[in-house]
Amino acid sequence: MPSATAVAHPNIALCKYWGKRDRALNLPAVGSLSLTLAPFSTTTTVEWGADADELVLNGRVGTPEESRKVFALLDLVDSWRPKVRVLSENDFPTAAGLASSSSGFAALVLAACKAAGQERSVEQLSVLARRGSGSASRSLFGGWSEWKVGERPDGMDSYAFELAPQDHWDVRMIVAIFDAGPKGTSSRDGMLHTQETSPYYPAWVASTPRDLAEARLAIRGRDLGALGAIMERSALRMHACMMAADPPVLYWKSGSVWAQETVRALRDRGIACAWTMDAGPNVKVLCAAADADEVSARLSRVADVVHVLEPGGPARLVG
């Protein structure tokens, strides 16, 4: 039975994706830009030709909702596919504050297309990963990547590409965990509700091209001060937009604000660093590798757990 195994790292967006222009095709309303992060990774094996569709995630049978998403994506890989067995393991805790769906769907499409004997370009793989989970389109790539909003109604021009490789810039992303529990509102539900009810949504969408243009330049020039200002602005505008939804979508906890204040205090002491937040209370702080010990020590005083991550490589086949 043909089988293949792929590994992918999760990513954190510096310019955020929030909102869809097409739900069925999972097309974004805005472009986004991210950093792929090691050492955390997902390893996924796909066996193409099994007795029944079967999903095993971190040693347990996938829930009906997880299975529905995975096998719907495999239907897109091949609408005439055989039954498939999928084994997927994250080497990081589910509560590590990182979206396992980004690494999960990137590893899944890479392994599935290989097991199916398909030769696909990395852009085609990114389009497929996007259908599973938007942020997964970016995890096909190492280092710094951008997911293009695209214009085509069929979404074939909405894929990610590498802006700069893993070794472009020696930075660290420090993840400060405040709440290990499952989130109350999923990203998917939160963003759909925001776009349906937030009066700030059109302004959010209109603000994003400038952030992307400036972030590309800041990454190219390795300018942490400039990139930091853009990433905090993007996160704050995304959260302001969802806080203005009706009823509001509010992921922040008191610890989130403590971490933001810690980042500002570090900056006041001359340490270049900046925070971002996703669909949860945890705070991710970008800094130079040389400052990572000090930044993580300061964040450890306010957070339950701190993880220090570094730029990771692209998704890859390992078997």
Give contact residues for ligand 2P0 (rule: CB under 6 A): 13, 16-18, 26, 32, 99, 101, 133-135, 187-188, 278-279
Under 8 Å between Cβ of 284 and 171: no
Residue reference for tokens 């992918």? 8
Specify the residue, 26 or 43, whose C-beta has the smaller distance to ligand 2P0. Answer: 26
Q: How far apart are CA 9 and CA 11, in angstroms?
A: 7
Specify the residue, 152 or 301, whose C-beta has the smaller distance to ligand 2P0. Answer: 152
Specify the residue, 83 or 233, whose C-beta has the smaller distance to ligand 2P0. Answer: 233
Specify the residue, 29 or 171, whose C-beta has the smaller distance to ligand 2P0. Answer: 29
Strand order across the beta sheet in which 316-317 lies: 60-61, 54-57, 84-90, 42-48, 3-8, 316-317
For the bound state, the minimum distance from the C-beta of residue 35 to ligand 2P0, rounded and expressed in Å, comes to: 11
Within 8 A by CB and 6+ apart from 31, the residues are 15, 17, 146, 147, 148, 149, 208, 209, 212
For the bound state, the minimum distance from the C-beta of residue 266 to ligand 2P0, rounded and expressed in Å, comes to: 23
DSSP string, 103-126: HHHHHHHHHHHHHTT----HHHHH
- Give the residue nearest to ligand 2P0 (CB): 134
Peptide bond into 182 cis (omega under 30): no
Residue reference for tokens 């074939």? 156
What residues are paired with 273 via a beta bridge? 287
For the bound state, the minimum distance from the C-beta of residue 23 to ligand 2P0, rounded and expressed in Å, comes to: 9
Specify the residue, 26 or 282, whose C-beta has the smaller distance to ligand 2P0. Answer: 26
For the bound state, the minimum distance from the C-beta of residue 261 to ligand 2P0, rounded and expressed in Å, comes to: 22
For the bound state, the minimum distance from the C-beta of residue 301 to ligand 2P0, rounded and expressed in Å, comes to: 26
For the bound state, the minimum distance from the C-beta of residue 73 to ligand 2P0, rounded and expressed in Å, comes to: 11
* CA-based nearest residue to 6, from 78, 114, 94: 114
Q: How far apart are CA 137 and CA 122, in angstroms?
A: 10
For the bound state, the minimum distance from the C-beta of residue 122 to ligand 2P0, rounded and expressed in Å, comes to: 18
Specify the residue, 32 or 103, whose C-beta has the smaller distance to ligand 2P0. Answer: 32
Specify the residue, 20 or 172, whose C-beta has the smaller distance to ligand 2P0. Answer: 20
Specify the residue, 48 or 144, whose C-beta has the smaller distance to ligand 2P0. Answer: 144
Peptide bond into 82 cis (omega under 30): no
- 112: burial class by Cβ within 10 Å (0-12, 13-18, 19+)? buried
Specify the residue, 160 or 266, whose C-beta has the smaller distance to ligand 2P0. Answer: 160
Token pair of 10 as six digits: 């999760």
Residue reference for tokens 């602005």? 233
For the bound state, the minimum distance from the C-beta of residue 278 to ligand 2P0, rounded and expressed in Å, comes to: 4
For the bound state, the minimum distance from the C-beta of residue 295 to ligand 2P0, rounded and expressed in Å, comes to: 22
- 153: burial class by Cβ within 10 Å (0-12, 13-18, 19+)? exposed
